[in-house]
Amino acid sequence: MHNKKYNIAVAGATGAVGKEMRKILESRNFPVKNIRYMASSRSEGKILKWKDRDIKVEDLQKADFAGVDIVLFSAGGNRSKEFAPKAVSSGAVVIDNSSAFRMDREVPLVVPEVNPEAALNHKGIIANPNCSTIQMVMALKPIFDEAGIRRVVVSTYQSVSGAGLKAVDELMQQTRDFLDDKEIKCDIFPYQMAFECLPQIPQSDAFGENGYTSEEMKLLNETRKILEDDSIRVTMTAVRVPVIGGHSESVNVETIKTIKPKRARELLSEFPGVTVIDDPARQKYPLANIAWGKDDVYVGRIRRDESIECGLNMWVVADNLRKGAALNAIQIAELLIDRSNI
């Protein structure tokens, strides 16, 4: 890090990811000169802390981005499309956590440990990948570099915090009501979420013509873009599970060259931001409760796929609000600062 300090804005500061962004900026001693918090008009005037200072939340609709160096956006795709270009025209670099710009050819889609160079070619906006994509490509990258990847089959087990703070509240209330034998009310989710698995993410989306959800298609399209290989075949099922925080994934990888589980463990152990927990004889493997609140992506249950010549199975777990969103965005900002690209 250089000695220079930066004017930072967090758009969507009151949401689940915005809250994590605020915590991580502070815990990582990000070189902040001044910080501004922005959200919808409902939160205008609300007081949020930055270290020992009180910061008044501004209405994003009225915000002037003049003088801001970096804007961390996590205010939803529509707001990103509307306000990110305004921030860029004011001279800011935007790191956007929504899906608004991810597949735009002019916008880099970046996981700093995986494709840092892509960030340096930005034209004002850098996209943060989807949470489930980030943790998967972190586990795939060292294997991809060593043995190539022909095909990935992934099933996700995604926590309700990925659907926002109100979704967490709904799960908690439904759980209490279920245990008290009361009527279960559904507002955020189309069905009861407590003690249930819902194979539809996001819950508000219609299924596509091909039968896949938008969340599932992100795993295909974003993986190819990040790894810069359109030949990789990916098929996916995304499932919401009644876990508060932390996404888990069963990832099956068909490689081009043979790679043994022992070698995969070595490569993953050496890869920055990955922790291997893989000792099945002692019942040691990644869990959402282990990953929640942590920065790393956890990988375990690494074993040969007995059904094909060149294949591995892995269990991949990460905190969806940290590495899956807020932390990755802040790491992109740190990368730009380290490379004197801002």
Domain with residue 223: its CATH number is: 3.30.360.10
- Residue among 122, 186, 247, 310 flagged as catalytic: 247
* 122 and 150 belong to one structural domain: no
Q: What is the pLDDT of residues 287-322, one digit of tens each?
A: 999 999 999 999 999 999 999 999 999 999 999 999
User: Has residue 242 been placed in a domain?
Assistant: yes
> Domain of 54: which CATH number?
3.40.50.720
143 within some domain: yes
Whether 1 is covered by a domain: the verdict is: no
Same domain, 99 and 240: no
User: How many Å apart are CA 226 and CA 144, to the nearest integer?
Assistant: 12
Q: For residues 143 and 123, state if they share a domain.
A: no
Shared domain for 111 and 152, answered yes or no, is no
Side-chain half-sphere exposure of 212, counting CA atoms within 13 A: 15
Within this chain, do residues 124 and 173 fall inside the same structural domain, yes or no? no
Residue range(s) defining the domain that contains residue 235: 133-320
Is the pLDDT at 104 greater than 80? The verdict is yes
The one-letter amino acid code at 138 reads: M
Q: How large is the average pLDDT for residues 252-270? A: 98
In a domain, 62, yes or no: yes
**Residues 38-60 pLDDT 10s:** 999 998 999 999 999 999 999 99
Q: What integer pLDDT is reported at residue 241 of this predicted model? A: 98
Sequence-distant (≥ 6) Cβ neighbours of residue 52 within 8 angstroms: none
197 noted as active-site residue: no
2 included as an active-site residue: no
Q: What is the pLDDT of residues 224-246, one digit of tens each?
A: 999 999 999 999 999 999 999 99
pLDDT in tens, 197-207: 999 999 988 89
**CB burial of residue 279 (10 Å; 0-12, 13-18, 19+):** exposed
Question: pLDDT tens for residues 143-162?
Answer: 999 999 999 999 999 999 99
pLDDT at 1 over 60: no
- Calpha distance 267→158 (Å, rounded): 26
Give yes or no: residues 191 and 316 share one domain.
Answer: yes
Same domain for 137 and 223: yes
- Do 193 and 299 share a domain, yes or no? yes
Q: 196 with 299, same domain?
A: yes
Nearest to 110 by CA among 88, 93, 100, 125: 125
State the average pLDDT for the chain: 96
Residue 114, pLDDT score: 98
Q: How many Cα atoms sit within 13 Å of 10 on the Cβ side?
A: 28
Domains of the chain: total: 2
Ranges assigned E (strand) in the chain: 6-11, 32-39, 47-50, 53-56, 58-59, 70-73, 93-96, 125-127, 149-158, 233-240, 247-255, 274-276, 297-304, 311-318
pLDDT given at position 133? 98
Q: Are residues 212 and 302 in the same domain?
A: yes
Q: Is the domain of 147 the same as that of 58?
A: no
Q: pLDDT at position 342, please?
A: 78
Q: Which of 2, 122, 131, 197 is catalytic?
A: 131
Whose CA is closest to 98, among 73, 115, 120, 123?
73
Co-location of 66 and 206 in the same domain:
no
Query: Do residues 37 and 97 make contact, with C-beta atoms less than 8 angstroms apart?
Result: no
List pLDDT tens digits, range 185-199.
999 999 999 999 999
